[in-house]
Structure formats: structure tokens, C-alpha cells
């Protein structure tokens, strides 16, 4: 009996599909034929044979694959153990690098170095910008800062200049009745308005050579120029050592040279800038630089075409504000505008008429040049200090009490009448007299009061009424003096608040917010 190799059995209509999955797993799928095509007795043995054969082949393949993988790993380890081969491969890698990549890396490093240097420079500039201004630095700076139309600032400048017995206060009307309520005499007015160029003519040709007048030759100095033009024409005012010396040295100069001398005077400029901050100085320098750049551009473009100016001026948001002065001097009332070539005479002084009546129509006409909705005006008055007026009045009441005491010393009922209504301020109270600035050596008695007291027909009750009026007047004057001292204290606080620079504290606060990520959250919200 001869043996024969068994042949692969036929599967019939059943087809066997076997796929080898990853990881050596074998998945067998069969497509089942319809029930009518199935043959339950055909080829089960052959089907089992094929599956076993394929599984055996797959196992051999997996073993062979693992052997190849182990061989590759072994060769890689051998290469790593050879330093010569490693260095050679690194050298080849370097030789194959793109030159553009090298340039990019160098540029990146240079950019990082520049950014680091700029960051250091920025921090240094920030520290310098936030540092307080030293006295020497304030005197060396040749710029002028803007001054707000605030009486407290002008009073601070007067004190720093050494001017005595003069006060600046705000004025809300130029009517004669209102001006009469101001401390007299009124030395001059300082008027602030939004500037516009204008042509002017003097109605009368008046010699103004005896008027001390200086032109404005630098930006932001109009406030000090206006105030100085008033002070230099005030008779009987103590200007102080420095300002009096400046007046004497410039008396023979022309108006432009006076203005140049004023703008270059270190003492006056330092007083003007005494309550400014460093940021004000930086802004002034930046504005001057921008103005110079714009001027060069305009010169390159050539002259612009001239246009006719309308009668009513419209407010330009870029126009600056300007201070001018009004002052009575040499028998006339003058407008002293530092931007004009000479003083403008408004008319002669009249007996019995306050000089402010000549100023009122000029101010009203200037205000009407603007639109009705404009409120860009402010008026200040230079007056005699109320403190001195009150002190002189108090000294006069003390002398009046002395006169009344001499008149009533022989009246038997006088002590009983004045009991409980004693004199508030007596001549023997030296400390209190000094506190009110009273100088009895220069004090006198009101002639009208003296005439009443010396009238022989005055009875005791009538004299007592005069005494009671003196007590009431003296108490009222003492209250006015204390109120004026309180106002001066408020002005000093306002000036100190203006001088105080909060920029370093704000910068530190913002830095802390940035470090804690608060600003990033705000940026996201925005």
C-alpha cells in the first residue's frame, strides 16, 4: 500500500480569511454563506489543517523579527561605545548645518542683548524721571513751567520774592460795588484768557516811557511777567531786596531787553518754578522740542497763505492761555500785555471814580470775542494784604480805648457800667499784640471818633455806647485776622500739595499690580 501526501481539502463555498495582527495575534474571519449553501459534512478536517499551518508560519516570523531587532540594538550599542565614531558623526552634523540658521541664531542673541540693555536703560531713565528735583537742579534748569490761575500759587511767589503786604485774590466781578469790597488799595488786575492774535491801536497817544514794562520773551512766563509788570509800577510797596535790585538794574533797558533779563534771571525763574514737579519740567522740554521740530517743517513748506480774520474769534482747542495785566500808573490806566510791543493806554484817571471802571469794558469786550459758551476766563487782583489792614485797625481801636479811658476816668459810675464787658485786647498784653502784628507806635485815633469823645456835652451813657461799639469792633477785627491766617494756612497746604509728587508711589503700585498679574486680568477684561 503506497502512502500518499494528503492533499489540501477543498473548502467549498466557505472561504476562510486569516489576517495577522500586530503583536503576533491572529484573527480569523469567515463569511457565512446562506443556509441553503452550507454543507455540514464537507471539509471540516481541511479547515483545521489550514489554520494550524498558518499559525505555525506566523510564530516563526515573529521569532525571526525579534532576532533582527536584537541584532540592530546590539550594533547601536557598539556604535555608542566608540567615541571616535561619535565625534565623527557630530563633526559631520556640524558641517551639514545651514549657514542661514547660524546667522539667525547670532541675530537672536544680539537682539536679546540689545533688549536687555534697553531694559536697563529704561529702568535708569524711569528712576531719573521719578527722582525729586534738587534745589541746584531747579536753579540750573532754564525752562519755565505753566502756572495755574490759582491765588495760592501767586501768593507763594510773592512770599518767595520777598514782597511784603501784598495779596492776590480771585475777583468775580469788576463792578464798582464789588471792587469796593476788596482790600484797598487795589494795585492791579491779572486777567487770564485763551489767547488769540489781534491788532491793536491806541485811542490816545500817551507817553509810556515812565511805565515799567517788560515783554515776554519765553514760553510759559506770562504769569510772572504780568505780575512783575504790576509790582514794578506800584508806589509804596516793599518789593524786597532781589526784586528791587532787578528793577533798578533794568530801569534804563528797552522792553524786549527787560523781558530777556527777566526770563534769564535765576532768582525770578526759580521762584516761578518752585512748586513744579519733575514731570512738569519733562513735559515743558518735550513741548519745546516738538515746537522746534514743527517750526522747521513749516519753514521747509514755505509761507502759508494769509486769510482774513473773522470779527468773532472761535476757540481753538490747541490755543494756549495767556495772562495780561491792568494797572493804574502815572495818571492813566494801562494794559500791559507782554506779547505786545508797548503798553496800551486805556484812559486817564478821574477823581472820585475807581480806576477799575476803565478796565471793565476792556475785559467785557475781550470776553465777547469768543463764543457765548466759552468760560475760559479768570481774574485776579493784587491788593494790600488784609492782615496789615486788620492789624492797623486793631491798633487804632486800642488807641481809641485809651482816649475813651482818659475821658471817663473821673466818672463815678463808669466802672459799674463797663463791668462784664471788658476790653478784649489791651495795650499791656505784649505777646497777644505781637500775635496780631500790632505796632502801637505808628497807631493813631480816628479823627471822627476823637471829636465825639472830646465833646463836653457827651453823657456817660453815650460814652458807654461808644465803648460798647469799640468792644464789638475789636472782637470782629480779631476774628477777621484769625480767619485770614486760616486762609493763608490753606494756601500753604495747597501749594505743598502741588509740590508733592505722587508719581513714584503710583509707579510702585502699578509694578506690584503687574507682579501679581492683576494688570493682565484687566487687559483680558478690556
Which active-site residues does the annotation give? 222, 322
Work out the angle at residue 68's Cα, subtended by the Cα atoms of residues 64 and 70, and round it to the nearest 5 degrees: 115
Alpha carbon distance 24, 364 (integer Å): 106
3-class state of residue 509 by DSSP: helix
CA distances from 457 to 358, 400, 462 (A): 47, 19, 10
Alpha carbon distance 252, 495 (integer Å): 35
- Residue in the block written with cell 484817571: 349
What length does the chain have?
526
Residue 123: how many CB atoms within 10 A of its CB?
10
Instruction: Return the half-sphere exposure (C-beta side, CA atoms, 13 A cut-off) of residue 413.
Output: 7
**In 3D, which of 521, 175, 123, 235 has the Cα closest to residue 379?**
175
Alpha carbon distance 101, 107 (integer Å): 10
DSSP string, 435-496: HTT--GGG----HHHHHHHT-TT--HHHHHHHHHHHHHHHHHHHHHHHHHHHHHHHHHHHHH
CB 387 within 8 A of CB 481: yes
3-class state of residue 56 by DSSP: helix
Residue 522 grid cell:
484687566
Instruction: Enumerate long-range contacts of 287-290, CB under 8 Å, 24 or more apart.
Output: 287/219, 288/143, 288/219
CA distances from 353 to 175, 177, 357, 380 (A): 12, 12, 7, 20
- Taking each helix axis from N to C end, the angle separating 222-231 and 151-161, rounded to the nearest 10 degrees, works out to 60
267 φ, ψ to 5°? -65, -50
CB 325 within 8 A of CB 312: no
Amino acid at each position: 500500500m503506497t502512502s500518499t501526501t494528503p492533499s489540501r481539502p477543498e473548502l467549498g463555498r466557505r472561504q476562510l480569511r486569516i489576517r495577522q495582527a500586530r503583536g503576533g495575534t491572529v484573527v480569523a474571519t469567515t463569511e457565512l454563506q446562506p443556509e441553503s449553501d452550507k454543507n455540514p459534512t464537507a471539509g471540516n478536517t481541511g479547515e483545521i489543517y489550514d489554520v494550524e499551518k498558518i499559525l505555525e508560519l506566523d510564530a516563526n516570523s515573529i521569532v525571526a523579527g525579534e532576532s533582527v531587532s536584537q541584532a540592530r540594538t546590539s550594533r547601536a550599542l557598539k556604535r555608542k561605545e566608540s567615541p571616535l565614531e561619535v565625534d565623527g558623526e557630530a563633526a559631520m552634523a556640524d558641517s551639514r548645518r545651514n549657514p542661514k540658521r547660524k546667522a539667525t541664531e547670532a541675530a537672536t542673541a544680539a537682539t536679546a542683548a540689545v533688549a536687555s540693555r534697553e531694559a536697563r536703560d529704561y529702568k535708569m531713565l524711569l528712576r531719573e524721571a521719578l527722582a525729586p528735583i534738587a534745589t541746584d537742579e531747579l536753579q540750573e534748569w532754564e525752562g519755565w513751567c505753566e502756572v495755574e490761575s490759582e491765588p495760592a500759587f501767586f501768593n507763594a511767589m510773592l512770599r518767595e520774592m520777598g514782597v511784603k503786604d501784598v495779596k492776590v485774590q480771585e475777583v468775580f466781578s469788576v463792578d464798582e460795588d464789588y471792587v469796593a469790597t476788596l482790600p484797598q488799595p487795589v494795585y492791579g488786575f491779572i486777567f487770564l484768557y485763551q489767547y488769540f492774535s489781534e491788532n491793536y491801536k491806541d485811542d490816545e497817544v500817551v507817553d509810556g516811557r515812565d511805565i515799567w514794562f517788560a515783554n515776554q520773551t519765553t514760553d510759559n512766563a506770562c504769569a510772572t511777567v504780568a505780575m512783575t509788570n504790576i509790582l514794578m509800577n506800584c508806589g509804596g510797596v516793599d518789593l524786597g531786596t532781589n526784586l528791587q535790585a532787578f528793577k533798578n538794574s533794568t530801569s534804563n533797558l528797552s522792553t524786549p531787553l527787560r523781558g530777556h533779563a527777566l526770563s534769564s534771571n535765576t532768582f525770578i525763574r526759580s521762584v516761578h518754578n518752585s512748586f513744579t514737579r519733575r514731570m512738569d519740567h519733562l513735559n515743558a522740554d518735550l513741548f519745546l522740542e516738538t515746537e522746534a521740530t514743527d517750526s522747521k517743517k513749516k519753514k521747509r513748506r514755505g509761507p502759508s497763505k494769509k486769510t482774513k480774520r473773522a470779527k468773532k474769534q472761535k476757540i481753538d482747542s490747541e490755543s494756549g492761555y495767556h495772562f495780561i495785566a491792568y494797572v493804574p500808573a502815572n495818571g492813566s490806566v494801562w494794559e500791559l500785555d507782554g506779547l505786545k510791543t508797548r503798553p496800551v493806554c486805556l484812559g486817564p484817571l478821574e477823581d472820585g471814580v475807581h480806576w477799575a471802571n476803565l478796565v471793565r469794558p476792556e475785559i467785557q469786550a475781550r470776553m465777547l470775542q469768543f463764543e457765548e459758551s466759552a468760560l475760559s476766563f479768570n481774574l485776579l487782583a493784587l491788593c494790600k494784604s488784609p492782615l496789615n489792614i486788620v492789624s492797623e485797625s486793631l491798633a487804632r481801636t486800642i488807641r481809641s480805648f485809651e482816649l475813651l479811658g482818659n475821658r471817663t476816668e473821673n466818672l463815678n459810675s463808669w466802672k459799674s457800667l463797663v463791668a462784664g464787658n471788658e476790653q478784649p485786647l489791651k495795650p499791656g498784653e505784649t505777646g497777644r499784640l505781637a500775635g496780631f502784628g500790632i505796632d502801637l507806635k505808628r497807631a493813631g485815633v480816628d479823627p471822627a471818633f476823637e471829636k465825639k469823645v472830646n465833646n463836653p456835652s457827651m453823657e456817660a451813657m453815650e460814652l458807654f455806647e461808644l465803648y460798647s461799639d469799640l468792644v464789638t469792633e475789636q472782637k470782629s477785627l480779631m476774628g477777621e485776622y484769625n480767619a485770614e491766617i486760616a486762609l493763608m494756612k490753606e494756601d500753604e497746604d495747597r501749594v505743598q500739595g502741588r509740590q508733592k509728587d505722587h508719581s513714584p508711589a503710583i509707579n510702585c503700585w502699578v509694578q506690584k499690580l503687574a507682579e501679581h498679574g492683576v494688570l493682565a486680568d484687566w487687559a483680558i477684561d478690556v
